[in-house]
Amino acid sequence: MTWEVLSIIGTIAFAISGAIVAMEEEYDILGIYILGIVTAFGGGAIRNLLIGVPVTALWEQGVLFQIALFAMTTVFLFPHSLLKHWHKWGNLTDAIGLSAFAIQGALYAVNMGHPTSAVVVAAVLTGSGGGIVRDLLAGRKPLVLRAEIYAFWAIIAGLLIGFEVVKQPIELYILFVGIVVLRVFSYTYNWKLPNRSLQTLSKEQSL
């Protein structure tokens, strides 16, 4: 049951995210549906490739495709009602998708008997893979690689599930809420991982 709920939550969140990014880039209706589908299912496709599941398994998720199409159609038909709140709630939608799919991906790998390292990889790719593909198709720098702490929270989810610290449904839901809250804090307070800019180093050396 936990698996299905997280799949639905993540699918809706990322389908809406992809559709709105497409509208921001002024894509036509076909582009909106393509970007929304890629965002909602791209991470799962990449995960399946790396952990040995046939990509065709994605086409067995007929109900989730219908849910994604409904969510994107709603965004397309009522853009003004949704877009006026997007700048306030858009990051929250992305955080929900990240958390739901990271946990779902980790559970997928655990159920297949993979080691913890593979569980973490599955969590990261499922949680952020769709967003990476979305940003690349939209001509943007991937959010996961440049902005506030993002994929790190998927790693945390993967580790907790891989080491069986979190197993029961209620624990998984608590983890889901916790990851969402941490992601919200990270973009609200601009938490960042350490980075090193070659441009900054070049300027310092030239002085």
CA atoms of 50 and 174, how far apart (whole Å): 28
Amino acid at 190: N
CA atoms of 94 and 99, how far apart (whole Å): 9
**pLDDT for 198:** 66
**pLDDT for 48:** 84
Phi-psi region of 30 (alpha: psi -120 to 50; beta: other; left: phi over 0): alpha
Which residue is listed with tokens 């919200």? 184
Low-confidence stretches of the chain (pLDDT beneath 50): none
164: number of Cβ within 10 Å = 9
Cβ(114)–Cβ(51) below 8 Å = yes
pTM across the whole model? 0.84
**pLDDT for 205:** 62
Query: Which stretches does DSSP call E strand in the chain?
Result: none
CA distance readout (Å), 19 to 67, 115, 135, 140: 13, 35, 12, 15
**pLDDT for 114:** 92
